[in-house]
Amino acid sequence: MSTDAAEVELARAQSIARETATINRGVRRSRPFLDLLRYLILLVAGLFFLFPIVWIAVMSVKMPGDYLRRPPVWIPDDPTLNHYRSVMEARGWQALENSLVIASSATIISLLAGTLAAYSLARLNTGGKHFAFWLLSQRMMPPVILVVPFFLLLRDVGKHVSFLGIDQRGSLIAIYTVFNLPFIIWLMRSYFDGVPIELEESAMVDGSTRIGVFLKIALPLSLPGLIATGTFAFIFSWTEFLFAVILTRTNAVTLPVAVAGFSGSQGSNWGQASALAVMATAPIFVLSLLVQKHFVRGLTLGAVRG
Amino acid sequence: MAVIKPGVSGQVSTPNGPSFRGRNRRDGWLLVLPAIALIVLLGVYPLLYSLYLALHQWDLQTPTTPFIGLDNFRTALRDDRLYSALRNTWLIVVVGVFLEFILGLILALLLVDLPRLKRFVIPIFILPVMMVPIVVGLTWRMLWDNQYGAVNHMLRMVFGQDLNIIWLGKTNTALIAMIVTQVWQWTPFMFVVLLAAISAVSPDLYEAASLDGASWWNTLKDITLPSIRHIVAVAILFRALDAFKIFDIVYMFTQGGPGTTTETASWYIYRLGFQFFRMGYASAISFLVLIMLSIVATIYVAAFIREGGKA
């Protein structure tokens, strides 16, 4: 009991010390002019980050006469949903379906293989440091390097296997699975590192198998991390463009490729292009709310825990 | 918020009980097997195949693909277009990541001691990072438009003249536009990483500094920056390697034009492979790029990360 009380006391003292010390980390407070300047800079930064997003959202509901106007029309008088209707019917629904199928399949497969491997690295130190960094190097390599061999290999494989090959969803699923793996292994390893090992050791002593310990203890305890990792993997697969544009023609076109189809249009199709872009972005924004807390950790592969 | 080094913390997490050891190794590799099989089949094998292609004259239109040794590599070393693409890529990487770091640091310092505002601001600031890159390309393609875009319009409002900058039609302005667009999307990444890093610096250090009457600038220079040095190094490496891949924005902005003056490494390889169908030559250039990046990354890691890891 007394040690508990002492610990609480210590924690309280630390938090007070932290609060007082925090004051000097950034710009010193207490000078009204500097404070005003500080809020002003933050406001400008916020507007800068938000403006393009608002711009494309507004563009997607403008009448054609409004987006080809100088000066630009900031807020349209008669917003329309026609662009959404026409672009979704033309190519949107198919692209949306492709993106959903491809991104979720790649996420599930890579999560299955990746989580097992991550657990092995975290708990059994399989392969040691060199193996972990070899995995990391796979992630860091520019993907364009694999574009040519992938194209030629898939073209040949496609002659024998119907779901692989050019313009098949299976090809992109396979590629995204492999792109996601190093990321998932590194990130999940950092989450498994956070699970106390004593629990697992005592379960093993009680006769649980390795896989039983993994399924019953490690996995449930790192579930938030697993969800965050899966969400990131989904986002990466959803947003990828280079391989998607090379390996698809009509059937397997994903949303980014469909959006890029408007790259040549000089203004006349901006409404439709923007509508499709909003459709491609909205799901990612919703998902990003899920991973907010894991954001820093995810984007640095577990190196920095925000 | 706790910050750790990205090293391998295997020693900490390996069970030391003697009963584990024998079975552990076998279990370990069994668990890794599916992942390794996938990576070897779909990552390592294509890479080796690409080396095979690089040693051949492999044009999609010609029926024969003769072995030509290192000829592709020799041609590449004399290829002005490759040098131009690499120059552009490094320009975008170095200038872009530098600006992202400086702006991200400023924003992090401004926000770090405003916990309530922080909670409200971070979700807004990170939205650009969550954008689909090709959508970023489309959005900014419209913003940079010389006739109907918002950038020229705002410049007109500020300077009051009828200026008409054709941003994406000229080499220099197009490169500037690409850099600004990259900075827009990725400054928030630097910002949140640096914010996490600064928040995790031990409060004792700041207490000691303020007792000594250190100025704000000295505190930043002597305490904050040295304490977060290691994370800064990692964040910059991640961003630089990522920025080097730049493709989507080139696709939407200029397609490498005017002429070939705004090509980047990824774009040039793509063009060679899929518009000229010179698969062998494209593979050779891919390998040269990979070698160059590996050397630069190794030097960088040795200089800034390995030694910094102890800090």
Among A211-220, A246-255, B137-146, B172-181, the minimum mean pLDDT is found in A211-220
Task: Kindly tell me the sign of the dihedral angle through the C-alpha atoms of B39, B40, B41, B47.
Answer: positive
Q: Which residues of A touch B15 (CB under 8 A)?
A: 123, 197, 200-201
**Residue B21 confidence (pLDDT):** 55
Whether the per-residue pLDDT at B143 is higher than 70: the answer is: yes
**Residue B311 confidence (pLDDT):** 33
Whether the per-residue pLDDT at B22 is higher than 80: the answer is: no
Q: Tell me the whole-structure pTM to 2 decimals.
A: 0.89
**Residue B3 confidence (pLDDT):** 43
Residue A306 corresponds to which tokens in the numbers above? 């925000």
CA distance B117 to A43: 11
Largest Cα separation within chain B, whole Å, is 80
Residue B132 to residue A242, Cβ atoms within 8 A: no
Q: Does B72 touch chain A (CB under 8 A)?
A: no
Q: Does B123 touch chain A (CB under 8 A)?
A: yes
Instruction: Give the three-class secondary structure for A199.
Output: helix
Residue B74 corresponds to which tokens in the numbers above? 């020799």
**Residue B161 confidence (pLDDT):** 78
**Residue B4 confidence (pLDDT):** 42
**Residue B305 confidence (pLDDT):** 82
Mean pLDDT score, A191-195: 90
CA distance B14 to chain A (A): 5
Q: Which residues of B touch A67 (CB under 8 A)?
A: 148
Q: Which residues of B touch A69 (CB under 8 A)?
A: 148
Per-residue model confidence as pLDDT tens digits over B72-91 = 999 999 999 999 999 999 99
CA distance A193 to A122: 6
pLDDT band at residue A103 under the 50/70/90 scheme: very high
- The closest alpha carbon to B93, from B221, B219, B200, B246, belongs to B246
Mean pLDDT score, B223-251: 94
Q: Does A270 touch chain B (CB under 8 A)?
A: yes
Q: Does B274 touch chain A (CB under 8 A)?
A: yes
pLDDT band at residue B181 under the 50/70/90 scheme: very high
Supply the mean pLDDT for chain B.
88
CB-hemisphere CA count at 13 Å for B234?
Answer: 25
**Residue B197 confidence (pLDDT):** 93
Q: DSSP per residue over A232-297, as a string?
A: HHHHHHHH--HHHHHH-SSTT--HHHHHHTTTT--STTHHHHHHHHHHHHHHHHHHHHHTGGGHHH
Of these ranges, A3-17, A75-89, A174-188, B57-71, the one predicted with the greatest mean pLDDT is A174-188
Per-residue model confidence as pLDDT tens digits over A3-61 = 566 666 666 656 655 555 445 565 555 678 888 999 999 999 999 999 999 999 999 99
Q: Does B235 touch chain A (CB under 8 A)?
A: yes
Q: Which of B167 and A297 is assigned the larger pLDDT?
A: B167
In this prediction the ipTM stands at: 0.88
Whether the per-residue pLDDT at B128 is higher than 50: the answer is: yes
Per-residue model confidence as pLDDT tens digits over A255-294 = 999 999 988 767 778 999 999 999 999 999 999 888 888 8
CB-hemisphere CA count at 13 Å for A274?
Answer: 28
Say if CB B269 and CB B285 are below 8 A apart. Answer: yes
Supply the mean pLDDT for chain A.
87
Whether the per-residue pLDDT at A127 is higher than 50: the answer is: yes
What count of CB pairs under 8 Å joins A to B? 357
pLDDT band at residue B55 under the 50/70/90 scheme: very high
Q: Which residues of B touch A235 (CB under 8 A)?
A: 130
CA angle A279, A284, A285 (to 5 degrees): 95
Q: Does A44 touch chain B (CB under 8 A)?
A: no
Mean pLDDT score, B243-247: 96
Residue in chain A nearest B236 by alpha carbon: A300
Per-residue model confidence as pLDDT tens digits over B186-201 = 999 999 999 999 998 9
CA distance B280 to chain A (A): 9
CA distance B227 to B222: 9
- The closest alpha carbon to A123, from A133, A112, A115, belongs to A115
Instruction: Give the three-class secondary structure for B271.
Output: helix
Whether the per-residue pLDDT at B59 is higher than 70: the answer is: yes
Q: Which long-range contacts (CB under 8 A, 24 or more apart) does B15-24 make?
A: B15/A123, B15/A197, B15/A200, B15/A201, B17/A201, B20/A204, B23/A210, B24/A124
Burial of B212 by CB count in 10 Å (0-12 exposed, 13-18 middle, 19+ buried)?
exposed
Task: Kindly tell me the sign of the dihedral angle through the C-alpha atoms of A200, A206, A207, A212.
Answer: negative
pLDDT band at residue B307 under the 50/70/90 scheme: low
Element of type H or E holding B124: helix B115-125
Q: Does B24 touch chain A (CB under 8 A)?
A: yes
Whether the per-residue pLDDT at B293 is higher than 90: the answer is: yes
Whether the per-residue pLDDT at B6 is higher than 60: the answer is: no
> Chain B interface, mutation test: which of A74, A135, A147, most B Cβ atoms within 10 Å?
A147
pLDDT band at residue B309 under the 50/70/90 scheme: very low
Residue A114 to residue B35, Cβ atoms within 8 A: yes
Buried b (16+ CB within 10 A) or exposed e, A32-55: eeeeeebeeebeebeeebeebbeb
**Residue A141 confidence (pLDDT):** 87
Give B196's DSSP letter. H
Residue in chain B nearest A305 by alpha carbon: B3
Per-residue model confidence as pLDDT tens digits over B262-285 = 999 999 999 999 999 999 999 999
**Residue B7 confidence (pLDDT):** 41
